[in-house]
């Protein structure tokens, strides 16, 4: 059996297990929930394919950008140096428009909800994976949003945004997603 398929299968099982983990009615900002969301972000990145030519070398960094503050942002700092394929994760907190163009993945905290549409108008959305944690994130043009259902953490995928991007999600990732169609979406 192909070792890559074995490793992929192990990650899939672990990712499914994360999705089935009960949150024990955890408050929205609990450290346990923030840690779980950070693990989801890492696994979503592992099951995402960026377009050919995104990296010129196999060991170039995957730039995980964070915009805003909170428990999840603190947890994401623990991902620095971990690998997605052969790309070490580097955390960045962009403040200027030019800095956002270097991001491969952007997590936007819920405290920034008033800026969602503004940010999406500025960003190079074709090859940027955007992840948020707010009920208005998908309708504002975000790609992946966390959602709690029946005491379980789940994630929604904005299918319109995914189709209009150059990103590809693995079929295993899509099996776990709540797929959302945005009629007349942002782009």
Classify residue 52: in a domain, yes or no: yes
Classify residue 37: in a domain, yes or no: yes
Successive 10-residue mean pLDDT values, the chain, 187 residues = 51 52 53 94 97 92 96 96 97 91 95 91 88 95 94 94 95 94 56
Classify residue 185: in a domain, yes or no: no
pLDDT of residue 186: 45
Classify residue 13: in a domain, yes or no: yes
CATH number at residue 132: 3.40.50
β-bridge mates for residue 145, sequence order: 132, 156
Classify residue 186: in a domain, yes or no: no
Classify residue 187: in a domain, yes or no: no
Helices (H) and strands (E) in the chain, counts: 7, 10
Q: Where are the beta strands (DSSP E) in 51-137?
A: 62-67, 83-84, 87-92, 105-108, 129-132
pLDDT of residue 25: 47
Q: 11-14: long-range contacts at Cβ-Cβ below 8 A with a sequence spacing of 24 or more?
A: 11/43, 11/46, 11/47, 12/172, 14/43
Classify residue 176: in a domain, yes or no: yes
pLDDT of residue 68: 94
Residue 172 and residue 13: Cα distance in Å, rounded?
A: 10
Kindly report the pTM of this predicted structure. 0.84
pLDDT of residue 125: 79
Domain of residue 127, residue span: 3-180
Q: Count up the domains in the chain and report the number.
A: 1
The token pair at 142 is 């975000």
Classify residue 166: in a domain, yes or no: yes
């Amino acid at each position: 059996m192909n070792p890559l398929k074995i490793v992929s299968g192990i990650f899939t099982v672990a990712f499914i297990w994360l999705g089935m983990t009960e949150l024990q009615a955890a408050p929205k900002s609990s450290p346990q929930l923030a840690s779980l969301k950070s693990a989801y972000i890492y696994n979503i990145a592992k099951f995402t394919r960026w377009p050919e030519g995104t990296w010129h070398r196999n060991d170039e960094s995957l730039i995980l950008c964070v915009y805003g503050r909170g428990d999840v942002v603190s947890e994401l700092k623990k991902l620095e140096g971990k690998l997605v394929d052969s790309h070490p994760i580097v955390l960045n907190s962009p403040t200027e428009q030019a800095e956002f163009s270097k991001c491969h993945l952007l997590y936007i905290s819920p405290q920034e909800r008033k800026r969602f549409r503004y940010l999406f108008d500025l960003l190079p959305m074709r090859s940027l994976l955007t992840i948020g944690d707010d009920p208005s994130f998908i309708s504002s043009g975000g790609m992946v949003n966390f959602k709690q259902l029946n005491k379980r953490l789940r994630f929604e995928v904005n299918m319109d945004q995914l189709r209009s991007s150059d990103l590809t999600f693995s079929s295993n990732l899509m099996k776990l997603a709540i797929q959302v169609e945005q009629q007349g979406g942002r782009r």
